[in-house]
Structure 1
């Protein structure tokens, strides 16, 4: 009975209270609210660049489809079968089973490529970039995001972090022209998302208590931390950005 109640809290109550099942439309009580907020803002701005056939590589539950598909003729979702089953076990999204390093599409067949929060999970990330560029049409647009200062996630499939200068060099190497560069938050987002993640992870040792008795206190703390993060982000500090989002053209 306790296990049933614990699972109800974990898979029904907590998503209801945090909005996590509707990411990036999460509530301020969610531990990663600040990160999701930034990604939502970037995607809404990127929508004006999206057109034609859009390929979302390593999409998981395809959380950004709701923002972009209206601007596309066709929205194609791909993901690795192994990674998808590990990270998105409850996903019912239709997707093409494909590794980011071996896409089953013809050269120059896509008008838009979405590659968000993927390269850190691909050990051969240069090969993944080459594949994304191969299927992208000349003058096609790529929406790309990568983490810089961010906790280990989706372990053990977490291999890389990218500084601004490393990412700019990577884009230049693959012949991409940067149209927009977004610092997705500053010290506030970096600091408090890591703190929230640390709290949630360390309380996993008392998972039942975390998901029941302690839950109101934890979510209240996340809400306070997120408000503080929003205030601190009012001070621009690009060297403390947790994530970079780029709109680029081939």
Structure 2
């Protein structure tokens, strides 16, 4: 979990540093909006649970939802997707998290509609999706989203107040490709070690340069990934029910 909560820009992490840093920064910037009972959609091993339920977080109940139980994971989900539905009552959670999940959903509209259904009015969804990333979890890697398609899916599901931002632009994209190439392209261990050391200074410079450049969704813009927030329309109540009530069908 340390690589999720404290990503390091070193030669071993050139392939994953940028994306994990971007997701962590997004979470920390929106932590005050994720409150009450939170549903972690496609939770995996729930790497961000501790920072959302810790002393600086506003989450009082954490429900992990996955699409199937993975016996190799140390942390098992609290809930599993059942017959195309989230096994929760309508308007039963206060906020939701969906990081690097929607690209694996054959029917993202169905998933987002279910998230909107179980969210209370005024509840916030924080999401992220990759754009520049290799095939992964094959054959369950279905999509790469543009900001325009992502907004359309969220709107169709009933969300409003949609804000979408880039994880990185041109410089981050080149850094990402260099990192993926040097750490994941098939090659011998010695060659990988030498190339990683050679690439590392340029990688760091690109990461720093990207942080100084604003990213707008215009023609020919390059992206590493996207993150954002969306809200279920309506006013959120100040006293959310307990997690036990949320889990009641």
**The TM-score by the shorter chain falls in which range?**
0.7 to 0.9
Stretch deviating more after TM superposition (216-225 or 233-242): 216-225
Q: Give the equivalent residue in structure 2 for 1:26.
A: 7
Stretch deviating more after TM superposition (134-143 or 96-105): 96-105
TM-superposed deviation, 1:117 = 0.9
C-alpha distance 155-195 of structure 1, shift in aligned 2 (>3 A): farther
Question: What root-mean-square deviation, in Å, do the aligned CA atoms of Structure 1 and Structure 2 show?
Answer: 2.3
Name which of 158, 171, 179 aligns with 1:175. Answer: 158
Q: Give the equivalent residue in structure 2 for 1:235.
A: 213
* TM-score (ref. length: structure 2): 0.79
Instruction: Give matches, 1:76-225, under 5 Å.
Output: 76-81=63-68, 84=70, 89=72, 91-99=73-81, 101-178=84-161, 180-203=163-186, 206=188, 210=189, 213-214=190-191, 216-221=193-198, 223-225=200-202
Q: How many residues align?
A: 220
Q: Give the equivalent residue in structure 1 for 2:227.
A: 245
Stretch deviating more after TM superposition (156-165 or 93-102): 93-102
1-side partners of 2:159 and 2:90: how far apart? 16
Stretch deviating more after TM superposition (213-222 or 31-40): 213-222
Unaligned runs of 5+ in 1: 1-19
Q: Give the equivalent residue in structure 2 for 1:5.
A: none
Report Cα offsets for 1:86-138 as digits up to 9, x if no partner. Answer: xxx4x312322513842111111110011111110011111111111111111
Q: Give the equivalent residue in structure 2 for 1:3.
A: none
C-alpha distance 136-38 of structure 1, shift in aligned 2 (>3 A): same
Instruction: Give matches, 1:33-72, under 5 Å.
Output: 33-69=17-53, 70-72=57-59
C-alpha distance 236-169 of structure 1, shift in aligned 2 (>3 A): same
Stretch deviating more after TM superposition (151-160 or 104-113): 151-160
SS in 2 for 1:227: helix
Unaligned runs of 5+ in 2: 233-249
> 1 or 2, which has the higher helix percentage?
1
